[in-house]
Amino acid sequence: LTKEKIIIMTKIIAIDGPAGVGKSTIANKLSKYLDAPVLMSGKLYRAVACEAIIQKKNPTNIKSIEIIAQNIDVNIYSDEQLYNDQIDQFSSKISSKKPIRQALINLQRSFPKNFRKSKKFCIIEGRDIGTVIFPKADIKIFMWASSEVRAIRRLEQVKKVNKKAKLTSIQKSIIERDLRDMSRKLAPLIPAADSYLCDNSNYSIEQSFKTILKIIKSKKY
Ligand code: DC
């Protein structure tokens, strides 16, 4: 008799959506609840941008930024280094370039393999996870909120450190990034046809979390 092998295939939860919609907040909450590892793909683009800035590269110098992307290690940068206006803009610019996206594909696709047999779910959040990186993801969530709502939420966070922050300039920068992310030719931000659309403009984080959890549970994995 041959021994029966039980292979647990980790279910991939893809969460896509625009900047500031709460993807990482929801991904982290789901991660705790489901004991699922999470990959924030935007962090990869941010780390590449950060290293390019450290090396004084121009965002148009794609050849040398490609080499940075091929060798990137996200763990060596602090959150302060990765999450600021300069990196927001720089990472958004370089993420429209094919060699940069190409260089980061394997890192993203190999993520679930690490948990193949140990975790029931893994979560990957970004812009093109359900469309390009994992077109066969088991559950695809596309989160949305109006740019005004996202700007108001962002203002509340920024005000803690910068009392002079202005809603109009925050909203302008969000719209600029949306436009760039949604109109680029390569892997644009767009809902996958088989994704669940979750507009959280009028939802609290808790409501949004419960809604998405309900979708995941309805699959009865
Ligand atoms: O999610 P984030 O704001 O940390 O992402 C930073 C930038 O990287 C953002 O401008 C869009 C880009 N990005 C992307 O093009 N594709 C992804 N899967 C994730 C992020």
Q: pLDDT band for position 3 (50/70/90)?
A: low
Cα angle value 167/77/151 (rounded, 5°): 10
Q: What does 6-35 look like in DSSP terms, one character per residue?
A: --PPPEEEEEE--TTSSHHHHHHHHHHHHT
Task: Give distance in angstroms: CA of 188 to centre of ligand 1.
Answer: 11
Taking 80 as the threshold, does the pLDDT of residue 64 lie above it? yes
Calculate the average pLDDT of the chain.
94
Which residue minimizes the CA distance to atom 18 of ligand 1?
A: 126
How confident is the model at residue 161, as a pLDDT? 85
How confident is the model at residue 160, as a pLDDT? 87
The pLDDT tens digits for 85-139 are 899 889 989 999 999 999 999 999 999 998 888 999 999 999 999 999 999 999 9
Residues 6+ away with beta carbon under 8 Å from 111: 37, 39, 122, 124
How confident is the model at residue 63, as a pLDDT? 97
How confident is the model at residue 4, as a pLDDT? 63
How confident is the model at residue 5, as a pLDDT? 61
Which residue minimizes the CA distance to atom 13 of ligand 1?
A: 42
Task: Give distance in angstroms: CA of 168 to centre of ligand 1.
Answer: 22
Taking 70 as the threshold, does the pLDDT of residue 8 lie above it? no
Which residue minimizes the CA distance to atom 6 of ligand 1?
A: 42
Question: Which strands form 11-16's sheet, in the order they lie side by side?
Answer: 38-40, 121-126, 11-16, 139-144, 196-199
Task: Give distance in angstroms: CA of 114 to centre of ligand 1.
Answer: 23
Task: Give distance in angstroms: CA of 187 to centre of ligand 1.
Answer: 11
Most confident of 7-11, 63-67, 114-118, 174-178: 63-67
* Residue 127 neighbours by CB distance under 10 Å: 25
Task: Give distance in angstroms: CA of 45 to centre of ligand 1.
Answer: 6
Mean pLDDT value across residues 199-207: 96
Task: Give distance in angstroms: CA of 127 to centre of ligand 1.
Answer: 6
Q: Which residues line ligand 1 (CB under 6 A)?
A: 19, 41-42, 45-46, 91-92, 95, 126-129, 177, 181
Which residue minimizes the CA distance to atom 11 of ligand 1?
A: 92
Atom of ligand 1 nearest to the CA of 128: 18
Atom of ligand 1 nearest to the CA of 180: 10
Which residue minimizes the CA distance to atom 5 of ligand 1?
A: 42
Which residue minimizes the CA distance to atom 15 of ligand 1?
A: 95
